[in-house]
Amino acid sequence: MRRIAAAIGAAVVIPLSGCSALQQAGTASPSPVPATPTGPAPTSTAAHPLEATFQQVIGDVLPSIVQINTRVGLGSGVVYDAAGHIVTNAHVVGRATTMTVTLATGGEPRPARLVRSFEAGDLAVIKVDDPEGLKPARFGDSAKLRVGQMVLAMGNPLGLSGSVTNGIVSALGRTVTEPQTAGSPGATIANAIQTSAAINPGNSGGALVDLSGQVIGIPTLAATDPELGGGAAPGIGFAIPSNTATDIAAQIVRDGKVTNTHRAALGIRGSTVVGADGRPIGAAVARVEPGGGAAKAGIEEGDVIVAVNGADTPTMAALAEVLTTLKPGAQAKVELLRQDGSRETVTVTLGELPGE
């Protein structure tokens, strides 16, 4: 597993806020995309081929991007189907069950409701009451992505509707964890796509698009650098792979909930515990789920999990990151610090993280 600290030094990953200061202040609002000019270009030379590709992709995909407004902020979403389902981030929706949706191409806001959130993966599906005119996006196969591919990020950063930035796929297979806050579930995202395309608050839940016009990711996280006073680290953003997003969305649309998370679980509830020096030393077990893998392996309340398969787990976030690299049914060696101060390693057959 490649941890984000290894990729960006002291930087930490934070969730993109679903709140835009510009929108709250009333200084920005959705505006229609200008019509494509039909007359000759103002210059005597033809558009650069790359520019023409960008223009084509933006024209094709932007009508599938929406702005989502809740009582506490805004974010972005991608039209999933013609029935009015829209996929977005769980942290964009937050605790709201109703919201409004505005197309990037303009028009009146449309009422929408939450279908289901899957907080562990920071994904959610909402549905608009009136799906007329919605254009479903084309989702690509994120497994075919390669580092160096050019991509566009589309969304509503800072409430500026229908904004587009460009960059490349910087890395693949990252495991990143959001800090848990009032507006974020603290999700751990496996196989995240790292991109240099600028991602800002309000981009959350939008689209990361390849040059064939396919959505290959859902922009979700940005990195901050403590040395910059917690400001954004330029050119480091993360997106949930489209294969993950469409799998979860399909389950929610079909079953009303997530029935198969494909994610491993120990079968415990816990929290980070710190040592006498104030540093985190492990994940303290607060509850053992009856019949789960941990219970069968003899893990007890009060034990502290300090490593899994040799990888240190000083925090609950670190434990979650390790588990995202494993599969349900696999066996894992879990190193414990017992309440009497002794250390013991037990073998746990991993269960499956339940849906929500």
Q: Phi and psi at residue 23, in whole multiples of 5°?
A: -65, -40
In whole angstroms, give the CA distance from residue 202 to residue 230. 18
**Distance between alpha carbon 191 and the CA centroid of its chain, in Å?**
11
Catalytic residue numbers read: 91, 122, 204
CA distance 217 to 219: 6
Positive or negative, the CA dihedral 318, 301, 261, 198 is negative
The Cα 7–Cα 35 span in angstroms is 42
Residues pairing with 208 in the sheet: 153, 217
What's the Cα-to-Cα distance from 319 to each of 175, 316, 338, rounded to whole Å?
12, 5, 17
Q: Which helix (H) or strand (E) holds 246?
A: helix 242-255
Neighbours of 31 (CB within 10 A): 13
For the chain, what is the radius of gyration of the CA atoms?
Answer: 22
How far is Cα 133 from Cα 352, in angstroms, rounded to an integer? 39
Closest CA to 92 of 264, 181, 220: 220
CA distance 94 to 71: 10
> Cα(23)–Cα(160) distance, rounded to whole angstroms?
8
Contacts with 104 (C-beta within 8 Å, 6 or more apart), sequence order: 30, 33, 62, 63, 65, 66, 67, 154, 156, 161, 162
Give the three-class secondary structure for 23: helix
Query: Residue 130, CB half-sphere, CA atoms under 13 Å: how many?
Result: 11
